[in-house]
A and B are shown apart, each in its own frame.
Chain A
Amino acid sequence: MRLRTILPAVLAVLTLAGITACGDVGQPVDLARVNEAQRPLPQNAGEPEPVDDEPAPDCGDPTASLRPNSDISAGSTMAKIRERGYLIAGIDQNTYLFGFRNPNTGQMEGFDIDVTRAIANALLGDPNKVQFRALTSAQRVPALQDGDVDIVARTMTMTCGRWQDINFSSEYYTAGQRLLVNANSRAESLEDLRGRNVCSAKGSTSIDRIAEAGGKPLQVDNWSDCLVVLQQGQVAGVTTDDSILAGMAAQDPNTKIVGPRFSTEPYGIGIPKENEDMVRYVNSVLDDFRGGEWARSYGRWLSELGAPPRPPAPKYQD
């Protein structure tokens, strides 16, 4: 009798004790928790490594080159290129308007490419006898030093530092550094982007000025990678030569170039240090190029930058 009455009571007590014993029921179980999505970055993008800033020795006027000479003597660099049958040119295949691969045709096009083809035409009688080697900004000087390329025509600023390692032709285009931002940005200058990420290419003259203005530089291999990180929202602006920025603005109407030019960037064609004959030869080609082709090429690619200015006058060291 007692057993029958007590047992259910005991069981009820035990059950209740079980329910209440642990108190806290814990959190619902989340099988997959992701708190932040990782945005993709272009290959090799990152913060620049600090470089020891050795001030370049003063070389006088960096735009002064060697006097032109169109003679091709036996054994000269030009004769060797003729023997080979084609010119090897270091170019950019990613910078719209200056040097890029037209995805619709697969052909290389742009202002720098026109200059390159003019040199090939003069030397070999055919503007198509060029082997294009795509280079990143940082690869330009090493490629010339190693003799991998005959010339580099790739938005290359003539500086005293670079004159140490390579030769330059006479100036064929004058650019200036400016800033590209999203169309809705209120920034007017690099200083307005203090503390924010700004993109520039590795090994370019532009990247040093970002940190000088208080911005955080993000360096990439190619200029078009800068447009990618701007579109992906990883930088607030891109700073480099207005000629390159114009190509980005042309590809994305939601961007704009702001502020005045805050530097002058004379473009020259890079040539290996030892090939002075080639420098003189290229300068003679450029003299012809400035005649009429320069304006035609400018009109074809750079008309968005305004009416064609006069081509920069060549300067020589002597």
Chain B
Amino acid sequence: MGQPQQDPLRGDQAAAGPEGPGDGASASGVAWLLALPKAIARRLRDSAATSPGRLTMIGVGLVVLAMIAGIVGTIVAQDKRDVVTNLTDYREPLSSAAQQIYGSLSEADASAATAFLNGGIEPDSLRSSYELNIARAGAALSKATSDQGATSEADLMVKTLATQLPVYTGLVETARTYNRQGFPAGAAYLREASALMSEEILPAARKLYQIDSAELSEQQDEANAFPWVMAIFGIGLLVALIATQRYLTRRTNRVINKGLLVATIAVGIAVLWGTGAMLTQAILVNDGREHGSNQADVLSRARIAALEGRANETMTLVSRGEGDAFQKNFDAARKRLVGADGNGGLLAEARGLAEGAEHADDVRAATENAKLWLQRHQQMRKLDQEGDYEQAQQLAVGAEEQSVATAFRKLDESLQRGISAGRQEFRAGTVYGGRALLLLAPGMTLLALVAAGGVAVGIQERLREYR
């Protein structure tokens, strides 16, 4: 293998020019290659001893540095813009989809249970609500499935959701068929479906939401990180340019070198523009996070707690006190929502975040509606405990203005409005932040080329004086 390859190499070396190191001409190609760095170092040392040689070296060095800084700046700027765009186009929609999966599934389950409580032929509105929410959950799930960068844990959650959802709907339909026949086996199937929902499906949806919202938060951190590499290269180049100019001034007594001046100005602009744009972007993205996505996150978690409470409230009636697990679950969800004293919990957290923001009204409305719901829940429980099951049931699921169902609907609507407002704020901040980086990447390339050109011209000018 070795023998035939030696010849072309030597041919190349011969073609490369007569400047090849003298001692390598007679040796083999490999030996020449090995000797190359040493030879170059020697030649550089020789050149540096003369002024034109040194100047050439400085010029080449500066051009190379300008090109590297330009490439780094362009990549960093483009990457930053990608990260910011990714936030609005991909990460946030994913976490929102996960929240929708939870909300829709939980509502579907509540509709199925309520339809059962109503007795007889299920009201069309409940059936429609069930179907719509299952369809919504399926659509949101298909979006969650598209998360390419998903962690294996998120993947597992999506898999649980995708495999168990059809099982759940199957059980609900079986329950429905038995109910229409007047058999209590329907209730048994409904209980099984509800258990599957609350023990496997909803926890997976909740976990998926947690993973996705943590991921969003992480990406926001990344978007707001200071671009150290870019700054170091930019400032390093600037310092090198200024030093060169001072060196030349000392050497030649000429104050201004136009080429180098242009290069310095270009790099100065690049540093100022880059830092300014990225700081602006970080401030805007952070604003969208604090007033937008954080708010949406707290309200989403509040909605999850409220829906969990509602489902358990309904199941307390369906089960007619069979075990007090549902009531315990309700109390736990209530505590998460409004705290032990009724003035804390996630809603208090949301109020704190919303202070002075546009959607403060939605959060206040949610707080009021939560109070109303919990108040009516107490009334309903009192009726049930006093033995008036029929009245309690009517109060729980009826469509009247004073029913628990109506109060809950109002709460859910205000929470959803708050979540939408938070998402809008997030989007505004992040999109404006992204716009701050507009043209930054091509700008970095252009300014680097100008700087390199300026250096080349400026050094060339000085070199000409030696000829």
Contacts and interface: CB of A to CB of B under 8 A. Distances in A.
Contact of B387 (A38, A43, A86, A222): A86
Nearest to A32: B159
Contacts of B187: 93-94, 101, 103, 224
A94 B195 contact: no
Interface stretch (A71-79, A129-137, A160-168): A129-137
B171 A136 contact: no
A133 B384 CA distance: 10
A104 B188 CA distance: 15
Contacts of B183: 96, 103, 251
A6 B159 CA distance: 55
Contact of A105 (B119, B188, B195, B199): B119
B251 interface: no
Contacts of A94: 184, 187-188
A95 B195 contact: no
Chain A residues touching B, range: 35 or more
Contact of B323 (A38, A41, A96, A136): A136
A106 B163 CA distance: 33
B322 A136 contact: yes
Nearest to B118: A106
A93 B119 CA distance: 14
Given A2-B8, A139-B323, A131 B189 contact: no
Given A2-B4, A40-B167, A251-B185, A134 B191 contact: no
Nearest to A132: B320
B179 A133 contact: no
Given A106-B119, A106-B120, A224 B188 contact: yes
A37 interface: yes
B321 interface: yes
Interface in B164-194: 167, 171, 178-189, 191-194
Chain B residues touching A, range: 35 or more
A42 B191 contact: yes
A271 to B, nearest CB: 19
Given A43-B191, A103-B179, A224 B117 contact: no
A103 B192 contact: no
Interface string A30-63: 0010100110111100000000000000000000
Contact of A228 (B192, B387, B390): B192
Interface string A119-156: 00000000000111111100100000000000000000
B65 to A, nearest CB: 37
Interface in A290-305: none
Dominant secondary structure of chain B at its interface with chain A: helix
A101 B184 contact: yes
A237 B387 CA distance: 37
A88 interface: yes
Contacts of B8: 2-3, 6-7
Interface string A94-111: 111000111111100000
Given A93-B184, A135-B322, A224-B185, A42 B387 contact: no
A1 B196 CA distance: 77
B185 A227 contact: yes
A34 B193 CA distance: 22
Interface of B: 4-5, 7-8, 11, 116-120, 159, 163, 167, 171, 178-189, 191-196, 199, 319-323, 386-387, 389-390, 393
Given A225-B191, A251-B185, 8 more contacts: A43-B192, A86-B387, A94-B184, A94-B187, A96-B183, A106-B120, A225-B188, A228-B185
Interface of A: 2-3, 6-7, 10, 32, 34, 37-38, 40-43, 86, 88, 93-96, 100-106, 130-136, 139, 221-222, 224-225, 227-228, 251-252
